[in-house]
Amino acid sequence: MNRKIDVIEVGPRDGFQNLKEYLPAEKKIEIIESLINCGVKHMQITSFVHPKAIPQMKDAKEVSAVLLPKYPDLDLFALVPNFRGAQNAMNCGFKKVTNVISLSVSHNKANINRTHDESFAELAKILDECSGLEVCLDVATTFGCPFEGKYYDTAPLMAFLKRAYDLGIRTFNLCDTVGLADPAQVRNVVKAVKAGFPDTRVEVHIHDTRGMGLVNTLAAVEAGVDGVQSTLGGLGGCPFAPGASGNTATEDMVLMLNSMGYDTGIDFGMIWEAAKKEHADIADGVFSGHNIFVKDNSAFIK
């Protein structure tokens, strides 16, 4: 009877890509499988980017070759920055990818060195030429941009989404890329998007930069999103802001949602152990999840 919420783990991409030391493919696979064992059914397991740009993702093919055949019923997908990445993902057996375009023109230029016109042309090419591939859109800087500031008007967002919708996109992932959102803004934006595009799937991707990871995630859930992204241990973001700028931690989010009666399909006790094991195994110190630092397990697991 409880409302189902899709928890979408993106740590193997957004978390691992921020680690300073290369994490071997077998270790990546081990962590990914620990998440699968906890009940995670939706996961961004890698990205197809140039290894010079993001060395951590150089093993995309290797990771995919192990996991895709082994878990054909799970929603495992990859991030692709361009048509070439989409082709590579298809060749590795992916049925679903996410492409990224920033709502902010200046951030899009800084992040992928493209104008909006160039990005949408590339997206159109992926959709045209990769038949059979499901393509979702990560809308970076939905809530604000590090160069342009926080966004108070939803009109530019709606026009941006319309452009993607008209190309055929039916899954929007609204990203608070640098952690500028507040709960009122998240509610407002999510409701506007759900009302404007009622036949799309809407997800959010929230960074915990200013401590609002969980409150913004809950705001999105209560405003009607279909899925919420997060990373095991709260990995992600900038390693130069200790404890502060990773994504919302999956295990913290699962504790909150499970406690409130939502059906995440994920066992908190198990994912807590997975997060603590990841923390023990990865020495980079970029963890922002809270529960991994809690020593006492009594008194709160239902």
Under the binding rule (CB under 8 A), the answer on residue 249 touching a copy of itself is: yes
Query: Of these residues, 130, 136, 145, 238, which one is catalytic?
Result: 238
Judged by CB, which is closer to a copy of itself: 77, or 287? 287
Cα-based angle 84, 88, 93 (whole degrees, multiple of 5): 145
**Cα–Cα distance, 127 to 97 (Å, whole number):** 11
Sequence-separated (6 or more) residues with CB below 8 Å from residue 95: 77, 132, 133, 134
**Cα–Cα distance, 70 to 219 (Å, whole number):** 35
Beta bridge partners of 247: 207
Active site residue 238: yes
Judged by CB, which is closer to a copy of itself: 97, or 253? 253
- Judge contact between 236 and 54, C-beta under 8 A: no
β strands within 40-143, DSSP E: 42-47, 75-80, 96-102, 134-140
Beta bridge partners of 97: 78, 135
Residues 24-53 that bind a copy of itself (CB under 8 A): none
- Residue count, binding to a copy of itself (CB under 8 A): 47
Under the binding rule (CB under 8 A), the answer on residue 156 touching a copy of itself is: no
Under the binding rule (CB under 8 A), the answer on residue 236 touching a copy of itself is: no
Under the binding rule (CB under 8 A), the answer on residue 212 touching a copy of itself is: yes
Judged by CB, which is closer to a copy of itself: 168, or 261? 261
**Cβ 19 to a copy of itself, closest distance in Å?**
18
Q: Which residues are catalytic?
A: 238
Residue ranges in contact with a copy of itself by CB under 8 A: 144-150, 178, 180, 182-185, 208-215, 218, 240-245, 249, 252, 255-256, 259-261, 288-291, 293-296, 298-300, 302
